[in-house]
Amino acid sequence: MEVRIYYEDTDCGGVVYYANYLKYFERARTQYLEDRGLSVANLMRAGRLFVVVHAEVEYRAPAYYGETLDIETTIPEMSPATIRFAHVVRERQSRRLVVEGSARLAVTDGNGKVKRLDKHTVATLQSDPRGC
């Protein structure tokens, strides 16, 4: 996924504000699912909501206002009720490694009760060569 860095994404020095990477990861996860035909809106209507239960970010190099980032997203692990998404962020032109991170999401029913992933979602994600 591509992210263009706007002024609103940066601190007073023109460097991407550290917390914004978590927002970029969220967009990348949603895009990853949508690209595979898994509509987050449809999953929500079916009573399956994803909640982040753990997140990690390793900052490798700054990214600056005006640059474009490429975010590669994979699924290295999946259990019956959780998915771990891994993200690698590079600056598009130089290919400089900017950030690496991951987030583990649990599937809930919307009331906080953990649910299992449905068979269609599991099959779709397992059939992806970039995933588990």
Residues serving a catalytic function are: 11
Phi, psi angle pair for 17, to nearest 5°: -65, 135
Q: Left (φ > 0), alpha (ψ -120 to 50) or beta: where does 14 sit?
A: left
Tokens matching residue 77 = 């692990």
**Beta bridge mates, 86:** 74, 102
Measured between alpha carbons, how far is 78 from 75 in angstroms, rounded to an integer?
Answer: 7
